[in-house]
Amino acid sequence: MDNWDDYRFILALDRFGTLRSAATHLGVNHSTVSRRLAVINSRYAGLIFEQAAGGYVSTPLGKKLVAAASGIEQINLTATRQQKASGHGLSGPITLSVPGVLARYILLGPLTKFCSEHPEIDLTIQSTYRFADLNRSEADIAVRGANNPPEHFVGRRLFAYGLSHYCNPDYLEGVAPKDRRWIAGPQEKGATSWIKHSPFPEAPIGLHIDDIEMRHQAAISGEGMILGACYMADPEPKLTRLPGSQVTPGQVLWVLTHPDLKDTPRIKALMQFITSVLKENRALIEGQHL
């Protein structure tokens, strides 16, 4: 490819399959991708993408260009990581990917302190539940609950967060057992495993909510019972564990980075800091502090 910027459009359309999805990924509008596709197609001796049901697919020629574009992308990504790794001392940018609830309930205050103690570090926090792709430099450090994280990432394996069953004390006292309802995620139907092993296995799901914090707030407001993370629910005075509820382990917490960044001083400093904060809050996170 003579125009090195073409590879971004080729890869985006190959990976996402539609002009609209590729445009969203690239941060441009639909018509920009359409025009760029027409220009790219005109540069070669045949079409590189052709329309199919619901979108676009690469032609044999297109597959060759996609492979070439992937190679260029890897070179760029490696160069970006090496540039980040070249920094000396406790200065420079760091992008941290962390689940929103873990940031809010455990890490936000300490991270603010870390930034005040290291003013030359420019920290950006990505609040997301998706595992950031460290290979693609979507983040420099990822804090995640995972039983089997990508093997080539490096970092610290800590401990599992605890889960238990909760509701507002007034809900427990004011709602008859036959009328009690669970609040669950959108994919949970019927008597899921955590309901079967709860103190009220016969209670049905009354409300599905996709957001973790909204489920938490709904339970606080007395809308039903939840399976909640202990570090979120135990400190909340308007929530109580259901009588007889046990703590069960969720996923294991990891603090991870890419091997190219593991020896970078600012990356090491933040990873060590986060690990220390999580260990200090271990009893709360595991649900064993009560």
Which candidate, 109, 103, 104, 240, places its Cα nearest to that of 164?
A: 240
The whole-angstrom separation of Cα 133 and Cα 139 is 7
Alpha-helical regions (H) of the chain = 6-16, 19-26, 30-43, 60-85, 100-102, 108-117, 169-174, 193-196, 212-220, 230-233, 265-280, 282-286
Encode the chain (290 residues) as per-residue pLDDT tens digits. Answer: 556 677 888 888 888 888 888 888 888 888 888 888 888 777 777 788 888 887 888 888 888 888 887 777 776 776 666 666 566 678 899 999 999 999 999 999 999 999 999 999 999 999 988 888 888 788 999 999 998 888 889 999 999 999 999 999 999 999 999 999 999 999 887 668 999 999 999 999 999 999 999 999 999 999 999 999 999 999 999 999 999 999 999 999 999 999 999 889 999 999 999 999 999 999 999 999 76
Residue pLDDT, tens place only, 122-171: 999 999 888 888 887 889 999 999 988 888 899 999 999 999 999 999 99
CB 136 within 8 A of CB 95: no
Q: How does DSSP assign 57-102, residue by residue?
A: EE-HHHHHHHHHHHHHHHHHHHHHHHHHHT--SS-EEEEEEE-HHH
CB 288 within 8 A of CB 241: no
CB 226 within 8 A of CB 182: yes
Could you give all domains of the chain from N- to C-terminal order, each with its CATH number?
6-85 (1.10.10.10), 88-290 (3.40.190.290)
Task: State the pTM of this model.
Answer: 0.73
